[in-house]
Each structure stands twice: as structure tokens, then as C-alpha cells.
Structure 1
Amino acid sequence: MTDILFRDATRADVPEIVRMLADDALGGQRERYEDPLPQAYYDAFAALTAQAGNRIVLAELAGRVVGCAQLLFLPGLSLMGMKRAQIEGVRVDSSTRGHGIGEKLVRHCIALAKQEGCGVMQLTTDKSRADAHRFYERLGFVGSHLGMKLKL
């Protein structure tokens, strides 16, 4: 698993990204991975890639997409204008989990955030994802804040 390449996603990658997003207990309830893929996914991809500082980073192994993460760079006024990085939707293909791909992907995103001048990387993870909590803690993330959401 040492020959992992990282690149930004293109529109052609959207089905593979959605497949990985849908490939777990929570994602299977939230996503619609079907053929044809709902247009909403393509519209969302176009909107996020049109926004400065918003991208989906892919991990590839032997030409196959095996991981993804949405990475956002967020300017702010607090903390003397510190820029933040936010990572969302981190997934690894179920057939390749347990081989360090997720760690390499997140570490790559951390390096991109440092290059961008970010002072912190933040994320949210569902309370039910105990394995994900351990994964992020092992990478140095700290549960420092309480996240809240309001469905609209």
C-alpha cells in the first residue's frame, strides 16, 4: 500500500465518491448510490469545486480510487484571523480498509492545510462512530468542542 497517489477529484469521480460515502451503516441510510446517479450529486460537486478553498482529495492505488476526503480552507476573524482547515466525508474503500490508506489520506490533507497557512484542522464525526473517534485521536485530533447541528 505504499504506492498511494493523491489528486483532486473530477466530475468523472463522483460515482466512486458516492459509492464510498454509501458504503457503511450510516452512509447506507443517507446516500443514494444507484445507476444513474442522482443529478444532485453532480450539482453539489460543481458547486463545491467552484468555491475557492473547497475540494475533494482522492487516494488512488494502482489507478483505482480507494479513499476520499472533502477539504475546505476557511478564513476567519477570530484568533487574529487564523485560517482553518475542515475535513469532511473521509472514507476508504471497504476492500482496502485496515491498510493505512485513511491515515495517509488524512496526513496528506494536514500537509495541504499547513501549506495553505492554516493554524488548525477541524472535523466533526458522528457520535456513533467509535472506531472513527479512535482513528482521529490516534492522529492527534482532540475532542475539544461540542458540535451541534440544526436540520433545515
Structure 2
Amino acid sequence: MIEVRAPRPEELAEVGAITVAAYTADGHLHGEEDYANQLRDAHRRAELAELLVGVLDGVVVGTVTVGAAGTPYAEVAGPGELEFRMLAVSTSGRGHGVGERLVRAVLARAADAGCTAVVISTMDTMAAAHRLYARLGFTPVPERDWEPVPGTPLRVLRRPVG
């Protein structure tokens, strides 16, 4: 059974470590220390966005950051959209549906908030995440693709809510 909930204050350092470890293990951090520091800073994400964790057998093994349009952790969300970022699952938590459960929790929050859609920015190299997003009904929105820094293209995916 996977539980999705807000992290406890004493879990925030571990949440940051899980996020950095997952991005590193998957080859998504290439000397980008500034971004690694953002991933590690779960305290800040918990203050400025909604931070969720996936708990498997009593152990935090996954996390996602959720931001409403116009808030610090929403980079591409427009009016009526909810955005999620920094989805990460530890290597020990993979294969149990933790990532899917976290994304479904985001979709449920969007529906509860009356949002029309959920958006995510993703890198081309995130193949496993792309399979999950496609299975859950996310589709590309190429006109919204962007580069946070030169040479780091991000693809925007969107899923209507409802």
C-alpha cells in the first residue's frame, strides 16, 4: 500500500536527498549544482508550494512538488492549471507504482481545486516518466516548450482535468 501525504518536518532532508539521488541516478544532472541545490531544498519547496511524499511500508520513497499558476514553483502553468515538478522516486521505491500514485494525487488535487488541466515540463531523456505521463493521458504541447537555461530544452505536457 502506497500512502501519499505531506511530508513531516523531520522528513524534509530525506525528501531532498531522494530527489537529488533520483535525478542523479537517471543522468538528469550534468554538473548543474544550482539545480541540484533546488532539488535538495525540500524545506523551501514545502514553504512555497505543496510538497507530497509517497510512503511505501512506512518509508518515504518518492516525492513531487505541486504549484498553482502564478506561484514560485509553477513555471508553465497558466490560469486554471496546476503544475507539478521534481517528481522523484528512490531506486528502492521503483517498480511499485509510487510515481503513478503521486501523479494521480496531483490530478485529484487539480480536480478538487476546480482546475481545467495539469501541466509538467519534462526533459527528452526522461523516458520512464514519459511512459507514465502518456499512460495517464498527458499529451505534448509543443508551442509551450521552453529552455530554462540555454541547451536544456524542456517539453511541456498537459492533461485536461475531468
TM over 0.5: yes
CA 1:129–1:11: 2 relative to 1, 3 Å: same
Contact residue 55 and residue 71 of structure 1 kept, 8 A: yes
Q: Which has the larger radius of gyration?
A: 1
**What does residue 26 of structure 2 align with?**
25
**What does residue 142 of structure 1 align with?**
139
Contact residue 74 and residue 83 of structure 1 kept, 8 A: yes
Question: Shift in Å at residue 132 of structure 1?
Answer: 1.6
% same residue: 26
CA 1:25–1:63: 2 relative to 1, 3 Å: same
**What does residue 7 of structure 2 align with?**
9
CA RMSD of aligned residues (A): 2.9
Listed one character per residue, the Cα deviations across residues 1-46 of structure 1 (whole Å, up to 9, x for unaligned) are: xx211111244222222222223233554577xxxxx9x6699444
Confirm or deny that 1:94 pairs with 2:94: no
CA 1:140–1:68: 2 relative to 1, 3 Å: same
Contact residue 59 and residue 66 of structure 1 kept, 8 A: yes
**What does residue 121 of structure 1 align with?**
118
**What does residue 35 of structure 1 align with?**
none
5+ residue gaps, structure 2, are: 72-77, 151-162
**What does residue 153 of structure 2 align with?**
none
Contact residue 73 and residue 118 of structure 1 kept, 8 A: no
- For 2:58 and 2:67, locate their aligned partners in 1 and report how far apart those are by CA, in whole Å: 25
Confirm or deny that 1:131 pairs with 2:128: yes
Contact residue 12 and residue 43 of structure 2 kept, 8 A: no
CA 1:112–1:30: 2 relative to 1, 3 Å: farther
Paired residue total: 138
TM score, norm. by length of structure 1: 0.75
TM score, norm. by length of structure 2: 0.71
- Of 62, 67, 81, the match for 1:67: 62
SS at match of 1:117: coil
